[in-house]
Structure 1
Amino acid sequence: MIETTHSLRVRYAETDPMKYVYYGNYAQYLEVARVELMRTIGLSYEEIEKRGIWMPVSQYEIKYLKPAKYDEILNIITRVEKFPGVRIVFDYEIYNPSKELITTAKVTLYFLCAETQKIVRCPDFLASLLKPYWSTTT
């Protein structure tokens, strides 16, 4: 399993009139955390795309437990619990400054060959970076 934590501050433009984060902005927060997890293992999304692999989202689930508010620093824990095959699943927990769990989410992406537009298994260059985080791969 791989797990990272990324912090971000809620900006005013991301909130509604109640100063709560507008629900549509959570997808961007999760994407930022996902991109940072990939950087942690040593590979940017840009590098993945340069190598001919796209990673479109196929499923997005989110549960809002409490609102995030303007100017709060949120901690987003991102996990990949299962070694990827043709899909990679990211699980998230978002905590407010009081360390309360305020949101949970799951985002599934699949690996797509940019040239053929066909779904492929996790490419070797990515799998080799992920393998150290699992004692065995499936």
Structure 2
Amino acid sequence: MEKYPGYVRKPFYYETDKMGIIHHSNYIRWFEEARVDALNFMDCPFEKIEAEGIMIPVLGVSCEYKEMVRFGDEVVIKPFVTKYTGTRLDFEYRIYQGEKLVTTGTSQHCFMSYENNRLIQLKKTHPIIHELFLDYYETTKESY
């Protein structure tokens, strides 16, 4: 699989606080936008995953702010898969402004069935989707 180049994002004015700095709550949304974009890059968009009866809930999320991002700045969000088991999927995120690392974060997820709200093992239930996640994991693990 080709290496994912990252999700380019220009902050919107409504995402700022009174000081013109991006409000901390928006970074979690940006992580989600980058995950969704990465799924599209993998040719496995959320619509396809949901049509297969799979949900990927967020189990946990964290964010560490190293530098301020302001309205008008352009950032690149790079999501890396740090753990993939077929039932669990963990991401690390790095947000760059140019070459400067400005924010890092993590999120933890699992794969569940919409039908019965139980964990599923993608390797058994959806082997093609499993291979896509495994390939993405193998491609990104070299980067962290």
User: What's the TM-score, normalizing by structure 2?
Assistant: 0.85
| Identity over aligned pairs, percent | 27
Task: Give the C-alpha shift of residue 83 in structure 1.
Answer: 3.1
CA offsets per residue over residues 17-74 of structure 1, 9 Å max, x none? Answer: 1111111111110011001111111110111011100000001011111111101111
Describe how 1:64-103 pairs up with structure 2 within 5 A: 64-97=65-98, 99-103=99-103
3-state SS of the aligned residue for 2:31?
helix
Unmatched runs of 5 consecutive residues or more in structure 2 = 140-144
Instruction: Using the TM superposition, give the Cα deviation of residue 85 of structure 1 relative to its aligned residue in structure 2, in angstroms.
Output: 2.5
Q: Separation in 1 of the partners of 2:114 and 2:5?
A: 28
- The letter of the residue matching 1:106 is T
- Aligned residue-pair number: 134
Which consecutive segments of 4 or more residues in structure 1 shift more than 2 A? 1-4, 81-85, 130-135
| Counterpart position of 2:142 | none
In 2, Cα distance between equivalents of 1:131 and 1:23? 31
Tell me whether 1:42 sits opposite 2:43 in the alignment: yes
Change (3 A) 1:129 1:28: same
- Listed as ranges, the matches of 1:1-138 within 5 Å are 3-97=4-98, 99-122=99-122, 123-133=126-136, 134=138
Answer with 125-134 or 58-67: which moved more.
125-134
Q: Is the 8 A contact 2:28 2:63 kept in 1?
A: no
Structure 2 distance, partners of 1:53, 1:96, is 34
TM-score normalized with structure 1 length = 0.88
Q: Could you tell me how far 1:81 is from its partner in structure 2?
A: 3.2
* More helix by percentage: 2
Task: Judge conservation of contact 1:91–1:107 (CA < 8 Å) in 2.
Answer: yes
**Distance apart, 1:110 and its partner CA:** 0.6
Q: Name the CA distance, whole Å, in 2 between partners of 1:4 and 1:89.
A: 19
Q: Which runs of 5+ in 1 are unaligned?
A: none
